[in-house]
Amino acid sequence: MINQLCVLVNNTLPNILTKISDDNWYHQRGLYINPIKYYTMSSLLLDIYHKMLDAYGPQYWWPAESKFEMMVGAILTQSASWRNVEIAISNLKSSNSLSPYKIRNIPDKELARLIYSTGYYNAKALKLKSLSQYIKSQFDDDINNMKHVELEKLRKGLLGVYGIGEETADDILLYALEKPVFVIDSYTKRLIDRLDLSPEENNYSNYSALFTENLPDDIKLFQEYHALIVRHAKETCKKNPICKSCCISQICPTGNGIINM
C-alpha cells in the first residue's frame, strides 16, 4: 500500500514530493502520481522534457540564418503558420530586404506585399518597421550590442515596441539574443493546464516562472524545451488530444483519465 504520500496542493510551488509503493495510480487533488518515483517540481519538469526529447528528438529551433531573421520570424508568426512565415522570409531575402536598414526604407505597401502570406500584413509591416527603428535608435543597427544589455531592461525596451507583446519579446530574447527566459504560448499553456500545474494566478509571468524557477538556468535547455512543447502540442497534445500515443500520458492527469475511461 502507500508508504508515504505528500499531497500535492494545486497551484503552489514547489508542488510535490511523493513516494508510492503500490502498483495502482493515485489521484490526489487532480494529479496522477507515478509509483516508485520521487518528484520535486524540478525533477517532474525535467522528466517531461526528457520524455518528449526521447519521443521527438532535438528540434534545432529557431531556423534562421541571422539574429534579425529570427526577430522578423517572431513577429510574422503571430497568428500564422510557420510555412507561411517561411514564404514571407523567402520573399524578403529574394528582394534583399532582410535587414533593419532595408525594412525601415522599403515602402510600406511593398513590405506588406512581401509578407502577405502571413496575414495581417499591413499591421505586421508596421511592426517590422517599428522593431527596425528601435534597433537603429537604441543600438545603431548592431544587434550584437543588444546581447550585452541587462535582461529586464532589454525586455522592457522590446515591450515598448509597437506590436511586440510578452510572447514575441521572449521569442526574440530566448532565440535571437540568448537570454534566459521561457516562452509561454498557447501550446505551453495548454500542456501545463492539462498537467494540472497551472499557477493560481493565470498570467504570463507566473506560467513562465514555473519553468525559470524550477529548471537549471540553461538557455539551450529553455530553447529545446519550448520547441519540444510546440512539436508535442501540434502532433499529440492538440485541442482534441491523442492521449493513447502521448509520451507523457502516464504523468498527465488529463491523458491518464482519458485513456482509462
What is the domain partition of the chain in residue ranges?
1-39, 67-176
- Pick from 166, 161, 140, 168: nearest CA to 73: 168
Which portions of the chain are predicted below pLDDT 70? 1-39, 259, 261
C-alpha cell at 97: 530586404
| Dihedral (CA of 194, 200, 202, 205) sign | negative
Give me the pLDDT at residue 212, please: 97
Chain-centroid distance of CA 13 in Å reads 20
Give me the pLDDT at residue 9, please: 30
DSSP 172: I
Chain-centroid distance of CA 106 in Å reads 31
By the 8 A CB rule, do 43 and 51 touch? no
* d(C-alpha 128, C-alpha 102), whole Å: 11
* d(C-alpha 196, C-alpha 190), whole Å: 10
* d(C-alpha 91, C-alpha 94), whole Å: 5
By the 8 A CB rule, do 183 and 170 touch? yes
Give me the pLDDT at residue 102, please: 98
Place of cell 499557477: 199
- Classify 11 as helix, strand or coil: coil
Give me the pLDDT at residue 261, please: 66
pLDDT cut 70: percent of the chain above it = 84
Give me the pLDDT at residue 39, please: 62
C-alpha cell at 212: 525559470
DSSP 131: H
Who's near 184: CB < 8 A, 6+ residues apart?
166, 167, 170, 204, 207, 208
**3-state helix, strand and coil shares in percent for the chain, rounded to the nearest 5:** 55, 5, 40
Architecture of domain 67-176: Orthogonal Bundle (1.10)
C-alpha cell at 10: 494545486
Per-chain mean pLDDT for the chain: 87
Give me the pLDDT at residue 256, please: 76
Residue range 89-138, pLDDT digits in tens: 999 999 999 999 999 999 999 999 999 999 999 999 999 999 999 999 99
For residue 190, which phi and psi values (nearest 5 degrees)? Answer: -60, -45
